[in-house]
Amino acid sequence: MSIKLIDLHFMGRAESVAVFIMETPEGPILFETGPHSCLPKLEEGLANLGYRASDIKHVFLTHIHLDHAGAAWYFAEQGATIYVHAKGEKHLVDPSKLIHSATKIYGGQMDLLWGQIKPIPASQLVIADHQESFTIYGQTIRALFSPGHAVHHIAWHTPYGVVCGDVAGIRMKGGPAFPPCPPPDINFEHWRESLDILIAESPEVLYISHFGIFDDAIKHLKDLKSEIDVWEEFTYGLFQQNSDPTKSVFAFGDWLEKRVSQLVTSEEVIEKYSVANPPWISILGIFRYYAKRG
Ligand SMILES: [Zn+2]
């Protein structure tokens, strides 16, 4: 038994968006679904392991961002139970707000990027609270409420390590852990506290959506905490000069490119960082946090 990664080849790119599947003698358990636009790739990945979508009876979501949960409705239609934090539940039952806030960022690209978005009946959703455990097919899966990237974020502690969603950042092979900062929920203070919660769990393995399975868990989590400090110091300086994020996109983009190149040598990996965590999106999320914080 183990947890395996399925690469969804998001927008045709390898090693960009992953979902994870825990195989047990009684059946598979899916963590994240990815976007609906990647469903063919997900079904292909499931078929390679010997499953059909209708074999998935349990889906654990870390958060409801469309690159993580956009196809959850499809598995619900096949009869699956979907596990999510209370603050995410209402957006699955009625995705209109979610669509509205994603459209503000992605505009006319919505369909291409994410595919279809449909509501999920509340009767198929299970709300998970911090430290709540679910035993499925003999496997205990425990919720770690972990806001900072999203207000409704849960990392799932499994017998094989922690499925992190985005709270443990993004990390491309050979590169550092970076915080993805899309609006509207970014909160660095909460994020650091969430990382402390994960560190206290002493996991050995982290499953990271963007992208991979990493076995230097504690170092990774501590590195991300310091990276957030570095990002905050630089971006708060920009914010104090001018609180309009559109005025700082280039300064932040340049800084970020330098920051990645200090830590990574491969051009291919550097490019993966800018695709996985576009500076023009992160600056919106970060400045929104400073504006709310006052
Ligand atoms: Zn996210």
Residuewise pLDDT in 10s, the chain (294 residues): 689 999 999 999 999 999 999 999 999 999 999 999 999 999 999 999 999 999 999 999 999 999 999 999 999 999 999 999 999 999 999 999 999 989 988 999 999 999 999 999 999 999 999 999 999 999 999 999 999 999 999 999 999 999 999 999 999 988 999 999 999 999 999 999 999 999 999 999 999 999 999 999 999 999 999 999 999 999 999 999 999 999 999 999 999 999 999 999 888 888 889 888 899 999 999 999 999 998
Gap from CA of 22 to ligand 1 centroid (Å): 21
Q: Which chain residues have CB less than 5 Å from ligand 1, an ion?
A: 65, 166
Q: Cα 27 from chain centroid?
A: 24
- 246 burial class (0-12, 13-18, 19+ CB within 10 angstroms)? exposed
**CA 83 to each of CA 47, 88, 225: distance values in angstroms, whole numbers, following the listed order:** 23, 10, 27
Fold of 2-225: Metallo-beta-lactamase; Chain A (3.60.15)
Q: Where are the domains of the chain?
A: 2-225
| 180 Cα to the center of ligand 1, angstroms | 7
Both tokens assigned to 288: 């929104």
Tell me how far the alpha carbon of residue 135 lies from the centroid of ligand 1, in angstroms.
26
- CA of 195 from ligand 1 middle (Å) equals 15
Grouping H, G, I as helix, E, B as strand and the rest as coil, residue 211 is coil
Closest CA to 208 of 166, 264, 268: 166
Q: How far is the CA of 79 from the centre of ligand 1 (A)?
A: 25
